[in-house]
Chains A and B, each alone.
Chain A
Amino acid sequence: MTHSNDPRGASRRDFFKISASAAAVAPVVASTALHAQPEQKPDPFAPVEVDLVVNGQRRRMALDARTTLLDALRRHAGLTGAKKGCDHGQCGACTVHVGGKRTLSCLTLAVMVREPVTTIEGLAATDGALHPMQQAFIDHDAFQCGYCTPGQIMSAVACVKEGHAGSADEIREYMSGNLCRCAAYPHIVTAIQQAKTQMEG
């Protein structure tokens, strides 16, 4: 998980020059790399300590600064609910909430995240009762293969909270960032309408 004992430092450094400046914006760079440190500046490729609150639990990880939130969740926190559909910010399968806002986790660097993260795994109540949106997706068969579903549901919850679920048309518009190749769209819209009533009721 960390690269601290990794003898590859030098060549990786050369290869990744371009991303170095991007990584440097990371405010919590902890230069704890153990391999030979050049005297002057901290190694921008050393693992960075990332402190996340995910689904109410504190998660500390040492990550390459370029690790996306999606990879941090899937590969490092063991939360595979958020899916990788494109890794380009174009399909919505990786949608999670950061500070309550829907966020494409594949376009977000884990080190940037300051606010609590909620993933599909953290949406149900602590007693296991499903969130009304989850139940509505079951009630209305709002999926087929299910691969887009975690992203759809996270997006849908936010869509309702943003006040963008006023009508079917509005839902269709504000849910258009979440692709569903199985095209379960009509049922997704109905499910959101049902859940909205319950979430607001």
Chain B
Amino acid sequence: MRPNDHPAPGGVQLRHVSQPLPHDSAAKHVQGAAPYIDDLPEPAGTLHLAVGGSPMARGRLIAVDLEKVRAVPGVVAVLTAADVPGKNDISPAFGDEPLFAHGHVMFHGQPVFAVAAETRDAARRAARLGAITVVQEKPAVTVEDAEKRGDTVLPDYAFIRGDASAAIDAAPNQIAGQFRIGGQEHFYLEGQVALAIPGEDGAMHVHTSTQHPTEVQHVCARILGLPDAMVTAEVRRMGGGFGGKESQASQWAAMAALAARVTGRPCKIRLDRDDDMAMTGKRHDFRVDYAVGFDDEGRIQGVEMAFLARCGCSADLSQGVVDRTMFHADASYFLPELIISSRRLKTNTVSNTAFRGFGGPQGMLAMERIIDEIACRLGRDPLDVRKVNHYGPERDTTPYGMTVEDHDVGAAILEQLERSSNYRERREAIAGFNASSPILRKGIALTPVKFGISFTLTQLNQAGALVHVYSDGSVQLNHGGTEMGQGLYQKVAQVVAEEFGVGMDRVRVTATTTDKVPNTSPTAASSGSDLNGMAARMAARQIRDRLAILAGEHFGVPAKEVVFRDDHAFAGNESLPFAELARRAHAARIHLSAAGHYKTPKLHWDRQKGVGRPFFYFAYGAACAEVVIDTLTGENRVLRVDILHDVGRSLNPAIDIGQIEGGFVQGMGWLTTEELVYDKDGRLRTHAPSTYKIPVASDVPADFRVTLFDGENREETVYRSKAVGEPPLMLANAVFCAIADAVQSIAPGRPVPLDAPATPEAILKAIQGIVAAG
């Protein structure tokens, strides 16, 4: 473990970086004064959109009768595929998903037409009057349906090392099984929304709630048949994203843009919650088939894992998502011989998409369950099996050929948390409790997280920023990262203020927009502050260097002796206020604006061969969860959670702790209460908060202890920090494993047939299963 004795970089105490400053919009949020798109004043003449969706999950679309729709007073335009001047394609990469269905329908609720009307009310009422005729075909709803048809959205893919099957056979112990993992609805509290305003010469300005403004720009331009330069996509903030606004904000932005083009008026779309849930993709659900061979200590010798992903009707981001599942199927463990394979199955359900963790959590959870099952077979404590399998010296190559250079960090975290959570004592106490409690059963689990940081599509690992210093010494900052609550704007502003040695009040952050910083990557893969923080620092540094030359001339010292701090430039005992320096710089005709561009070093990834270094580094963490279940009802509670998480040298510990707690709770929801139910016709039956339960305040463990691991990033990231957006979600694996442990107590030695999410029904089923197996 690394002691906390590192001086701040440069040996200077940092004024802003590493400080627990509040969110950039904190004061506005508490006054309801931070506008989201639906809060913006609507330009005169704004029209409102409502969407008409397919009544069937699969079939030939033979007629769309919109006469009644058009007849509704207030309706100004009705749009279908025929109105698209460009290409009817909203897909992020593979050209396989239309804005409006054409020829056939692919999922229940798929947009077929949209109504633009004077009022939202008129648009919604009119949208219901569309007569859509579909010659129904039997939909593929489950992965099994799709497998039978052999329908995939993208080719199968696998990592292979050695001869897994022979290694399993040769091992002293074998297990084979199947595990199902549910999906997850994002339920960003601000639903999908866009406001498109037509401009001069056919240009379009789109306010969009998206994590990926550049993609919104591209998709709008493609739909409208315009060059990218004619479309501007802007986002100041989102009311939550979680991956759900990475690729899937484009459709609604494009719909608004198309309506604006057709009507010549500003057009706004805000999906109703039910429509949002039915019409936008979710976390991928999986069936995992596995076989594992291991020695008598539980050390894995060989493993085969087949991940069958329900991708929905199109590829969307499924290539990267399911790849990331495979990248994390090792969890934190060395797998000597392996086949980790995946199928991206095409179903007649909404296209599944990015969700915090981007497929990683599913891979990791599957492996943790395998470990639990090994422990069960051998009668060992699962934590001991975790430890013998953990990456370590000579056992440090991932299934994709990347060396885990800092496995000591993961191991140190496990050890430290084991001690600080009193894991061993509590396990004994729980055994004692269970021995005398036939109905209520407790369980405990301590699970690690190792999450790869970087986009696995290497080209996305770049970012741009634009910094201006005005002649009064105020600073304007813009970058390609988007703000969805994760505190990115504040973190990057802290970095820039630090560079100039000025107060935070001097740095103004402006909305992310494609006309300031172009060709951006999505704010995703936890990479926001790594990438944009660096780009902004590089931009600020260019200006600072120019100012230093001027100040050096003024003080008669070399530029490198000029220090920027406390809103001044210093040389020895002399100083110049920053504002004065800016004024003089302008008078001296020095350029006070700079663009920074950063690309992550060291990355290379050969997907064909399945080898390389797809990740710049790993973020680590571990959680210990204790739960109690009621064996008569399946009800459960999380009693206590201890978390130790590695954020490197935190840029902002307050924000990072919020991310850790929030990510954990969201993961807990995924694994316990959030259940997506599709009926046999492919209709989502859980399309409102009344039937889809996300965690509320009372679900959060009453005893919740979160600690930041004391260490720094071994790689040269911005101030040696680490990414924090996604990794904490997987800390919730401990909750699932603890529930399984509680069920296990009923019949030690028998495998626990528990699928995710562990709803009360699933727990009851598992209890019945384990009892019946006796």
Contacts and interface: CB of A to CB of B under 8 A. Distances in A.
Contacts of A121: 31-33
A189 B34 CA distance: 22
Given A180-B189, A182-B240, A120 B661 contact: no
Nearest to B129: A15
A172 B697 contact: yes
Contacts of B272: 87
A176 interface: yes
Interface string B20-33: 10110111111111
Given A120-B32, A182-B485, A147 B239 contact: yes
A120 B35 CA distance: 13
Chain A, interface SS category: loop
A81 interface: yes
A179 B694 contact: yes
Contact of B697 (A8, A81, A171): A171
Contact residue range for chain A? 35 or more
B688 A88 contact: yes
B564 interface: no
B661 A186 contact: yes
Given A181-B242, A183-B700, A90 B189 contact: no
A93 interface: yes
A137 B26 CA distance: 8
A184 B658 contact: yes
B663 to A, nearest CB: 8
A11 interface: yes
Nearest to A139: B22
Contacts of A186: 661, 700, 704
Interface string B685-700: 0001110001111101
B769 interface: no
Nearest to A82: B32
A91 B73 contact: no
A90 B73 contact: no
Nearest to A138: B26
Given A81-B32, A83-B190, A175 B73 contact: no
Contacts of B661: 183-187
A183 B698 contact: no
Contact of A141 (B484, B486, B654, B664): B654
Interface centre among A15, A169, A177 (most CB of B within 10 A): A15
Interface residues of B, number: 64
B665 interface: yes
B398 interface: no
A176 B32 contact: no
Contacts of A141: 20, 22-23, 26, 654-655, 657-658
Interface centre among A119, A130, A141, A182 (most CB of B within 10 A): A182
B188 A88 contact: no
B187 interface: yes
Interface in B474-493: 484-487
B30 A137 contact: yes
A150 B273 CA distance: 19
Contacts of A177: 696
B36 interface: yes
A146 B29 contact: yes
A178 B697 contact: yes
Interface string A166-201: 001101110111111111111111000000000000
B239 A146 contact: yes
B429 interface: no
B199 interface: no
B125 interface: yes
B662 A182 contact: yes
A123 B31 CA distance: 8
Contacts of A91: 189, 689
A83 B370 CA distance: 44
Given A80-B35, A141-B655, A169-B702, A88 B30 contact: no
A186 B665 CA distance: 10
Contacts of B662: 144, 182-184
B665 A134 contact: no
Contacts of A64: 121
Contacts of B187: 179, 181
Nearest to B655: A141
Contacts of A81: 31-33
A144 B658 contact: yes
A134 B31 contact: yes
Contacts of A6: 73
Contacts of A80: 32, 35, 38-39
Nearest to A3: B119
B72 interface: yes
B353 to A, nearest CB: 16
B32 A144 contact: no
B647 to A, nearest CB: 15
Contacts of B665: 183, 185
A140 to B, nearest CB: 9
A134 B122 CA distance: 38
A93 B690 contact: no
Contacts of A12: 73
Interface string A139-175: 0010111111110010000000000000011011101
Contacts of A183: 661-666, 669, 695, 700
Contacts of B222: none
Nearest to B239: A147
B487 to A, nearest CB: 7
A86 B688 contact: yes
A116 interface: no
Contacts of A188: 697
A144 to B, nearest CB: 3
A180 B242 CA distance: 13
A83 B697 contact: no
Contact of A120 (B31, B190, B487): B31
A119 B655 CA distance: 27
A83 B239 contact: yes
A143 B189 CA distance: 12
B237 interface: yes
Interface centre among A85, A141, A143 (most CB of B within 10 A): A141
A38 interface: no
A109 interface: no
Contact of B689 (A179, A185, A189): A179
A146 B237 contact: yes
B702 A168 contact: yes
Contact of B690 (A15, A85, A88, A187): A88
A112 interface: no
B503 interface: no
A29 B700 CA distance: 46
A92 B694 CA distance: 13
A124 to B, nearest CB: 6
A97 interface: no
Contacts of A176: 696-698
A147 B655 CA distance: 17
A27 interface: no
B27 to A, nearest CB: 6
A119 to B, nearest CB: 7
B238 interface: yes
Interface in A78-114: 79-88, 90-91, 93
Given A81-B31, A150-B29, 15 more contacts: A6-B73, A85-B273, A87-B272, A90-B688, A134-B30, A141-B22, A144-B240, A145-B237, A148-B189, A175-B696, A176-B698, A181-B666, A183-B669, A185-B665, A186-B700
Interface of B: 20, 22-23, 25-36, 38-39, 71-74, 121-122, 125, 186-191, 237-240, 242, 272-273, 484-487, 654-655, 657-659, 661-666, 669, 688-690, 694-698, 700, 702, 704
10 contacts: A83-B190, A141-B654, A144-B487, A144-B658, A150-B29, A153-B30, A169-B702, A172-B697, A172-B698, A184-B662
In the A-B complex, the 4 residue pairs with the smallest Cβ-Cβ separation, listed nearest first, are: A81-B32, A145-B485, A147-B239, A8-B73
